Structure 1
Amino acid sequence: MSADFSSIKVALVGPKAPPAGGMANQTAQLKQLLESSGAYVYFIEVNPDYKPAFIGKLPGIRALFRLPQYCLSLFRGYSKVDVVHLMANSGWSWHLFAAPAIWIAKLRSKPILVNYRGGHAFDFFSRSWPLVSASLKQSAGVIVPSVYLQQVFSQFKQASTIVANTLDTELFKPTKKQVNSTQLHIIVTRNLEAIYDVATAIRAFALILQSHSDAKLTIAGEGPELAQLQQLVTELQLDTAVNFVGRLNRNDMAALYQSADIMLNTSLVDNSPNSLIEAMASGVAIISSNVGGIPLLVKHEYDALLTAPKQPELIFQQLKRLLNNPELKQQLITNGLASSSRFHWSNVSKVLLEQYQRAITGKGIN
């Protein structure tokens, strides 16, 4: 049973989809879960539609054009709530959206919790900590989704509290694979960006295809690397075995997990990726790079197999292990299902409600 938020009025400040992505999806899911648990949620978009629409085609100018409208929405919206929940990221996103949200909360005398989720946190803080710290001092505290980010903040002498990402257990759940289905189905569910190094997953798949000629690879995501990755598939003569399905809605993504045998995650930079959590909850075996916060999210040979990044041969070796050792694969799946329970709303909600209550009463959370 989830915590009761019926006495809480919260302004949720974060991105809306499109574009879809981890933070936008988590924001939408958090809004739905809070409301289902009785909270009043006033959603303030950091990326409202441009008015007039043509401004959206002018890089640089468009962000500054959006800022006055955004700040006005913050100023007005804060009057309706008891506490502010800010979804924050690194880089220019921090300076343009997070910092104004914090300072306007200070102006309106509203407690604000900074839910920091940037995978590039250490590099960003190393460059910009004096500015970031000045804003954080105006907040009621920092909450983070992972041990990894908590450790990053601790390196800069900033306390934080872990409130895990939430998992939609109605969507992401295991299902029995078709008994008569013997085709190996491997999936990748990351955006097609350089930091996710999908090329390594494709190269590893090419190696396993030599011994499993009917295997298929489904790549769900969009991004600037699409044309380059499609060219790689053609060069490796994998066109009939690799399918780029683009960005999927949540229902279709859940169905993709349920149809899969193994998920590959080959990212070069990462924090606590929702895709791994969703795969575990769906009963999919995981092979992943061991970068960033991933080794703190999953444990090698317990609920995932981890390898060094940019090493398709190592991914291939781990694929062979799973295919030759069904007991190991089932062990990963069973343990992954158990691990995913940390992200159930029934558990996360109790921690989050406590943080809201402490912020509202002025006790702070850290």
Structure 2
Amino acid sequence: MKNVLYVGNNLQQSKSNVSSIHVLGSRLEAFGFKLWYTSSKRHKWLRLLDMCWCVLVKRRWVDVVLIDTYSTINFYYALAVSQLCRLLHLPYIPILHGGNLEKRLQRNPKLSRCVFGPAHTLVSPSLFMKDTFESHGYPSVYIPNSIEISKYPFQQPSFESIRLLWVRSFSEIYHPSLAVQILKGLQDLGYDASLTMVGPESDGSFKKVQDLAKEMDVIVTFTGKLSKTDWHQLSKSHNFFINTTHFDNMPVSVIEAMALGLPVVSTRVGGMPYLVSHKKDGWLVPPNDTKAFVETLIYLFEHPEVASSIALEARKKVEGFDWEVVKGQWVGLLK
């Protein structure tokens, strides 16, 4: 098996969600690959220096470099590391995570060409991102985000009341305040509705959402970050999963909700139409549209047979994302 250097967010923080570097890295290790990781530095400049230093130090032992690539400031980490790999004649593989990477391609075509053009391969976790990059002249390999389906017991919920679950980092791009507005809209129409929001603080949005809940006079349960086991257990007492984001690629939290049996209602953005087939295994609504969310949730609540059918079809779909199915694609790429 090859030796792999994985470049990404290797921070071990109690308040942040587990990043892909930990999930994919541990699975590749279990399959027999030798992996090194960078970076665990919190300071942005130190993290960048540490990433580059690790590439330099490990260049004699590494066969390939995996680079988690996002559309925000972390794009510049990928830029620096990829150019160093080029200088050292190290093959590198960007993994395209950022749901808004298309704008990066449009705004910075020259920098994008430097990162993606000479790459050994581009790995896209969603068909949306694959199509996006190929439309800009960058072929990619589709390898979906995976889960271990055996760890996700399927349980169809009951529908005595509307019990909403939201799971993401509290960041503006995920529009957490919309979840509170949805709850308020349901309660104003006389429905018995509740909302639980699971996730860590990211950019100051958590306080804004708390303040909005107080302003709207609704009670929201905030759990902070939970382990996967804990939020999976929590999901059993809920019957809808809402995804309110402005941008998205192929969020693992939505895949997990589909595996657990929660009907998903999501904004129709980015890769979501590639993941969720509207009215078949989930429901898609326009972004930032409280009214559309409320009307959809009421319809599904009042038609539980439709909600149950959606949940069942969603489970069937995400069984195709099981690691036992996906791992062969990674092994074939890295061997």
TM-score after normalising by structure 1 = 0.84
What are the Cα deviations for residues 181-219 of structure 1, in whole angstroms up to 9, with x where unaligned? 945421111222222222222222223234333x32101
In structure 2, the partner of 1:243 is: 221
Alignment of 1:58-77 (within 5 A): 63-77=44-58
In structure 1, how many angstroms separate the alpha carbons of the residues matched to 2:115 and 2:270?
25
What are the Cα deviations for residues 207-237 of structure 1, in whole angstroms up to 9, with x where unaligned? 3234333x32101122312222112212222
What are the Cα deviations for residues 317-340 of structure 1, in whole angstroms up to 9, with x where unaligned? 111111111110111111110111
Check the 8 A contact 2:149/2:319 in 1, yes or no. Answer: no
In structure 2, the partner of 1:264 is: 242
- Aligned to 1:174, which of 154, 157, 162? 154
In structure 2, the partner of 1:20 is: 16
Alignment of 1:116-135 (within 5 A): 116-135=96-115
Shift of 1:344: 0.8
In structure 1, the partner of 2:41 is: 49
Alignment of 1:336-351 (within 5 A): 336-351=314-329
Return closer, same or farther for 1:36/1:167 CA change in 2, 3 Å cut-off.
same
In structure 2, the partner of 1:227 is: 207
In structure 1, the partner of 2:145 is: 165
Tell me if 1:192 matches 2:184: no
In structure 2, how many angstroms separate the alpha carbons of the residues matched to 1:68 and 1:49?
9
**Rg larger in structure:** 1
Shift of 1:277: 0.5
- Aligned to 2:90, which of 101, 110, 113? 110
Return closer, same or farther for 1:305/1:67 CA change in 2, 3 Å cut-off.
closer
Question: RMSD of aligned C-alpha atoms?
Answer: 2.1
Shift of 1:253: 2.3
Shift of 1:119: 1.3
Amino acid at match of 2:56: F
SS of 1:255's equivalent in the other structure is: helix
SS of 1:30's equivalent in the other structure is: helix
Unaligned 5+ segments in structure 1 are 1-6, 51-55, 57-62, 358-366
In structure 2, the partner of 1:212 is: 191
In structure 2, how many angstroms separate the alpha carbons of the residues matched to 1:273 and 1:252?
18
What are the Cα deviations for residues 14-60 of structure 1, in whole angstroms up to 9, with x where unaligned? 11243634xx5222110111122222222222xx235xxxxx4xxxx
Tell me if 1:325 matches 2:303: yes
Shift of 1:153: 0.8
Shift of 1:9: 2.1
SS of 1:264's equivalent in the other structure is: strand
In structure 1, how many angstroms separate the alpha carbons of the residues matched to 2:75 and 2:100?
12
Check the 8 A contact 2:66/2:92 in 1, yes or no. Answer: yes
Moved more, 228-237 or 165-174: 165-174
Shift of 1:176: 6.4
Check the 8 A contact 1:79/1:108 in 2, yes or no. Answer: no
> When the two structures are aligned, how many residues end up with a matched partner?
330
What are the Cα deviations for residues 285-330 of structure 1, in whole angstroms up to 9, with x where unaligned? 1111111111111111111011111111111111111111111011
In structure 2, how many angstroms separate the alpha carbons of the residues matched to 1:92 and 1:49?
15
In structure 1, the partner of 2:26 is: 32
Amino acid at match of 1:228: K
In structure 2, how many angstroms separate the alpha carbons of the residues matched to 1:251 and 1:327?
28
Check the 8 A contact 1:113/1:141 in 2, yes or no. Answer: yes
In structure 2, how many angstroms separate the alpha carbons of the residues matched to 1:200 and 1:257?
20
Tell me if 1:334 matches 2:315: no
Check the 8 A contact 1:29/1:166 in 2, yes or no. Answer: no
In structure 2, how many angstroms separate the alpha carbons of the residues matched to 1:67 and 1:38?
28
In structure 1, how many angstroms separate the alpha carbons of the residues matched to 2:248 and 2:156?
30
In structure 1, how many angstroms separate the alpha carbons of the residues matched to 2:25 and 2:309?
34
- What percentage of aligned pairs have identical amino acids? 23
In structure 1, how many angstroms separate the alpha carbons of the residues matched to 2:324 and 2:138?
28
Check the 8 A contact 2:156/2:311 in 1, yes or no. Answer: no
What are the Cα deviations for residues 104-128 of structure 1, in whole angstroms up to 9, with x where unaligned? 3233333211111111111111111
TM-score after normalising by structure 2 = 0.91
Return closer, same or farther for 1:175/1:25 CA change in 2, 3 Å cut-off.
farther
Unaligned 5+ segments in structure 2 are none
Check the 8 A contact 2:243/2:265 in 1, yes or no. Answer: yes
Check the 8 A contact 2:183/2:218 in 1, yes or no. Answer: no
Check the 8 A contact 2:152/2:259 in 1, yes or no. Answer: yes
Check the 8 A contact 1:118/1:271 in 2, yes or no. Answer: yes
Return closer, same or farther for 1:120/1:275 CA change in 2, 3 Å cut-off.
same
